[in-house]
Structures are given as C-alpha cells and as structure tokens.
Structure 1
Amino acid sequence: MADYGLSHIIYLWNPSIRMLDLLLATPSTDEDTRSVIGLAYNSQNNDFKILRLLSFFWGQEAEAEAEIYSLSTDSWRNVVITMESLRGYEPNFGTIGQFDPPCIIFNGALHSVAITNRHRFILSFNVNDESFHEIMLPPNDLDGVHVCCTELAVFKGSLAVFIYTDDHWGVLCHIWVMEEYGVAESWIRKYMVPTILNSHFYGCTDNGELLIKTATGLVSIDPESRNQSILAIEDADWVGCTANSMESLILLDGGK
C-alpha cells in the first residue's frame, strides 16, 4: 500500500496474519516525480518483490528508473531503464518519460504502460530474473478518435488493454486481448463497451466482468451482454485499485 503523493512510503500488509511492515524507498526531492508500484511473488527463490517505476521530468528531458525491493534481503536496488537497453539504439523512440498505472502481475511478470515522446508500449518486468522487456500495444486503428486513457488488466486469463475513446458516439471502452502472450500479432479486439464519462476502471472479475466506479458507486459490467449490476458497496470513494487475494502465512520480516 502506498500514497501517490508519498510513494516512497510503502506498507507491506499480510491480512491473513494481521502483519504490517513499513518500507522506505528513496524519497524524491522533485515534485514532478511520478511513480507506479507493483508487487509480485518470485517462485524460483520463494521471495516477494516490489517494483517501483519512477519518472523524473526536467523540462523536455526525462529519464526513467526502477527500484526493486526483495523481501528476503530487506533491501532496495536501483536500475536505469532506457530504450537502448530494451531494443538497441533507435533514436526515433526517444527516452521513457512516463509510466501509467496500474502495474499488474501476469505470467510471472509485472506490466505497466510506458510512454516516450514518440512511442507507447508495455514494459514487462520478469520477477524471477529481474529483466525488462518491451511488449507492443495493439495496432493504432483509432486515428482521429480522442483516446481518454489506456489501462492494463487481466481479462479471463489473458493480458488485456482497455482503451477508452470519446467522440460523438460517447465514451467507448475497447477491450483488446493478447491471445498469445508476448506476440504482438495476437492482439484482437474482443468488445466495444459503452461507458460513462468520468467513470474509473478498477479491474476485472475472474469471469470477465468490468469493475467501474461511477458517480453512483461501484458497478460491474458484462462486456458481452452489456448488463450492469450495482455492487452492494455504499461508498466507493476509498477504492484505489483491485487485485486478487490469496491467503498466505508469509512473514514480512524477510525470515528474520
């Protein structure tokens, strides 16, 4: 758990054993610093890791860094992420200037949308070997349509991208699914779902329903039938994100 304004203050919480641990990452002195945080399990080493993606803005220049925390060693280390390290020297793609939340776990890797001054792609972080990779986003067939935002999700067991557009037809959610993980040619647009302006997407249920916060509260939407159900949560203003929960007896002290 972390606050966007104080993202260097992170709490690890295991609700199964009611244990809470405070972690302190590197604080930033730049008010324009942005961060995205993800948590994952390293199955090879029986370890939990936190990935903290940082963007630093100085005028027109930007550089991206990552901080990686290991629970087993109770330590952080820094990595600089460049386009050259991902794909070799290609000056037309610029430098990474921004990461968009959320940072989701899928197929043993954490994923976040990365943005350069000329390019948008999915940055994946393999938890086991701590390597970064580039995954191309779906082809841009929305030229001339205003894109409100792009969000990653796990949709029915596959990596998915939710692209929200706003035009004279209203706000549409385009759901793209990657049928073969890591293969950009396998992106397929499954659904286009009408939604509400200023609504906020939080994630998917296991059966593929969309969890969206509207002015009246949290609702679930079936993208196939487009049926909506109001969830029995009176006040959803506290919601920051959603994730699957699995009980664990893991201690938060690195085994000490």
Structure 2
Amino acid sequence: MLAIVGGSGLTQLASLEVTRREVVRTPYGEPSGALTFGMVCDQEVVFLARHGYGHTIPPHRVNYRANLWALKQVGVTDVVSVASVGGIRADFGPGALIVPDQIIDYTWGRECTFFEGGESPVRHVDFTHPYDQKLRQRLLDAAAKIGEAVYDGGVYAASQGPRLETAAEIDRFERDGADVVGMTGMPEAVLARELELPYAAINVVANYAAGRASSEAGISFDSIEVVLHEAMTRVRGLLNGLCSDGDH
C-alpha cells in the first residue's frame, strides 16, 4: 500500500476516493493528523498532511516519528513525500519538479531516530543512498508515461526553518553541493529507512532560494502560492500515473 505525505500546497488529493479516516496512536505521540484511506486508479492509498490538515504544524514541530510509525503500523509498503522547495541550481526555477537522489542535513534538535539506545543496543542504518532507487524509478517512469517533465536527481538541503534562509546560507549550501532547499526532508527520510520503508520524494520548486532570483525585492509569498497551485495539479497527475503503473 502506497502512502503519500503531502507538504505545503498539498493538503489533500482531489483524485482520492476516500473510504475512511483513521486516528492512529503510536508510542511516539500523535501523528500530524488522521490517516486518510482511499483509492486512486484502483490502488489503495493512504494520505497524510505533514503539517496537519489546517497547515498548522511548522517543520521543526512535525512529529516525524509518529507519522512514519503510524504509516508502518497500518501496512504501508512505500512512501512518497511531496514537498515544496527553494531552487538553488539555476535551472531549478519556480514550477520545476525534481526527484532528488541525495540529502544534506542541516537540521538540529529534532527527534531523528527510533534507535535511542538505553537498554537496547545502538543500531546504525546505511544511508549512503537516502532515497529508494526502485521507487524513484517508478516516479520517473510515471512522469515519462504522462509526458510530465521532471528532473532526475538533485541534492536536497534540509534546513531548520520555519524562517527562510539568508542569501549567505544559500551560498553555503551551494558550495556544499545542494541544488534545492527545504525544511522537512529530514529526519523523515532516515526514519523511513529505519523502518525499512522504501521512500522517495517529489520536490516542487516554489521559488528561487534567497539571493538567487534576478530581483532584489526578496521572495514574494503571493507568487509562491500561484506557483504551487499550478504545480500541485501536475503533481497530482504524476501521482495518478504512479498509482496506475501496475507495480504495487
């Protein structure tokens, strides 16, 4: 069963034929909201709004452990994250869709593991390739099938938020090799890995990152809303294509 975790701009799936909603309790507290179960192209899908259905939970307050644990508990086998990002690379302009392949983590103070030691032995996970390649390829194939242009690969910088970054911070991220910047990719990706849940992401460029736009006027939040509204329609089409790929 596929889970879709929606970020800013994707708090619901228009194509989801809702069958039920379920409040799931976890040892790690409350998830961001009830899990919404439904059908997309004859595939059962679970949807969860990462920031809550009223978009009330900031990135550093999301209970990532509860979210992933709840999805695993109800039988999810694959997780696709949808997240808006700022474009650092010149060709990653507003509206671009990226299926990233690497992460650099700049977050701090978040509950970032299920393996906290104590009476249990310390455990490590291999995070060389943070996104599941098979699930990434399914996203790329689905995009090709419907004729949607996506970028194959990119380095996601996970920043703390909720504020946007300074121009100097974006310069640093670029020097480190990052192509886009967002606030929710970690620890979500590593928690999925710890639970052995294949995880991949669709990054939606909402705006150029700080200092990268041609204008010195700063970032326009009105423009971001317009871009996300249009781009998320394309994301829903991509997700529909993924759900109809027959490999589930």
Name the structure where strand makes up a greater proportion of residues. 1
How high is the TM-score relative to the length of structure 1?
Answer: 0.30
Name the structure where helix makes up a greater proportion of residues. 2
